[in-house]
Amino acid sequence: MLIYRILIGLISPFILLKLFKLGRGYPDYSVIKALGFNQAPVQADIWIHCASVGEVLAARPLVKSWRERHPSAKVLITTMTPTGAEQVTASFGEAVIHRYIPVDWGCSVKRFLKGIDCPRLLIIETELWPNLLKQVKKKGMALYVVNARLSDRSFKKYAKFARFSKELMSLPDCIYAHHNADAKRFEALGAKEVLVTGNIKFDLKVNPQVIHDNWQQYFVNNEFVWIAASTHEGEDIPLLDEHLVLKAQHPNAVLIIVPRHPQRFEQVYQQASAKFENVGLRSEAPMEDWHKLDVLVGDSMGEMMNYFQASDLAFVGGSLIERGGHNPIEPALLSKPVLVGNHTFNFQEITENLVLSGGGLRCKNAELVGNLLLAFAKDKALVAETGAAAYEYALSNQGAVERVLDSIRS
């Protein structure tokens, strides 16, 4: 831990600079809060920490099931980022309490924890901050890591610092791992109790409001609609180019493109506008005119399931470049065929099994994405068959949330 404290001290100026930049445009966020100041005390029955948007989305079925079991319980959710905070509001409204977790400096963590009165902390995925974990245990709280995964690449990095890793991994009371391979890696690093519970992201229930809203109705006259979800820089332009090829054969096809990070909304809108005549922003284009567009840029938070519902097929971004991909389960739960690139190490086993199930297809480059778009656009039966396989795969893997909560209760 000493080496960690020295290292985090050395990089403090860079952390502060990043936090300052992060807070621009978000009046609710400030460096002061990131240092553990200016946050009201909280009494809660359960504290769930989610680093950012992805973890908040993953936690939704967990929060829902906990509140069904404990209707009067107070739930605290912490995030590190303003976008994560926005997603908390979008997902739960006033049903939960939100706070910003401070940077992992000992003094900041201690200051923050003084205002927290809660018996247990659940950390979503492998967001293991040493000072936070150590201070939480000193405070006498139960500590759990939920939806934990550890790739072989990350395991090898931890293994280089065996003493540090053993001290860190021994702090949680229990680690709930995705798969046996993850569990074995955590155990090898020194975790004292690991249970294989599966992936809570499979337990996501499609909000009935999404079906009621039925954004698909706005594209009823379009032959084919596809979504490029959670795209990163380096993916948008190649995918826009493939949409040009698609539209040469299917003129009224529509692409819904949703950048992963809000700060890129305008950039992607400009890129699309340079290639297509009719480009609209979700925030500006009237829904009744969406069918007239070539490209709809999804510049909104918390509406990804609506975008998926409106589409015939989904490409999941972060996978044509080495970002590791994003969650393919959401489109699968809406019976959409799922395309991914070669780089899916963040969801490696899930993606591989989705492909094996017949519900997903892997594309080594954007050109292959384009070829598959053409194949699906002219074959509605193929769309339905592949989408049904994706749905069956997602449904067959549910149950992780109940296994986690049953273990915590016992």
Domain span at residue 77 reads 21-205+399-409
In a domain, 14, yes or no: no
Q: Which of 55, 125, 242, 303 is catalytic?
A: 55
The answer to whether residue 70 scores a pLDDT higher than 80 is yes
- The predicted structure's pLDDT at residue 127: 87
- Four-point Cα dihedral 190, 191, 195, 196, nearest 10: -60
* pLDDT band per the 50, 70, 90 thresholds, residue 410: low
Statement to judge: residues 167 and 312 lie in one domain: no
CATH code assigned at 88: 3.40.50.11720
* 361/351 Cα distance (integer angstroms): 9
Strands 313-316, 225-231: pairing kind: parallel
- pLDDT at 13 (0 to 100): 78
Task: Give the CATH number of the domain where residue 239 resides.
Answer: 3.40.50.2000
- CA distance linking residue 223 with residue 228, whole number of Å: 17
d(CA 247, CA 207): 32
Q: Are residues 227 and 191 in the same domain?
A: no
10 Å CB burial of residue 135 (0-12, 13-18, 19+) is: middle
Between 9 and 319, the more confident residue is: 319
185 shares its domain with 234:
no
- Is 380 found in the same domain as 355? yes
Q: Are residues 391 and 280 in the same domain?
A: yes
Whether residues 166 and 245 share a domain: the answer is no
- pLDDT mean over 166-183: 95
Overall average pLDDT of the 80-107 stretch: 91
Categorize the per-residue pLDDT at 267 as very low, low, confident or very high, splitting at 50, 70 and 90: very high
Mean residue pLDDT of the chain comes to 94
pLDDT at 29: 82
9 in a domain, yes or no?
no
3 in any annotated domain: no
- Rounded to two decimals, the pTM is 0.78
- Asked whether the predicted pLDDT for residue 121 surpasses 80, the reply is yes
Has residue 16 got a pLDDT over 80? no
Percent of the residues in the chain that have a pLDDT greater than 90, as a whole number: 81
pLDDT for 32: 81
The tally of domains found in the chain comes to 2
Together in a domain, 71 and 177? yes
297 and 194 together in one domain: no
- Give the tens place of pLDDT for each residue, 234-259: 999 999 999 999 999 999 999 999 99
Q: What is the pLDDT of residue 291?
A: 98
Structure tokens at 177: 């791992």
Judge if 362 and 254 occupy the same domain. Answer: yes
Tell me the C-alpha distance between 291 and 256, whole Å.
11
The beta-strand segments (E) located in 141-253 are 142-148, 174-177, 194-196, 225-231
Least confidently predicted of 18-27, 203-212, 223-232 = 18-27
Answer yes or no: 223 catalytic. Answer: no
Of the listed ranges 93-107, 134-148, 282-296, the one predicted with least confidence: 93-107
327 Cβ contact partners less than 8 Å away, ≥ 6 residues apart? 54, 57, 58, 201, 316, 347
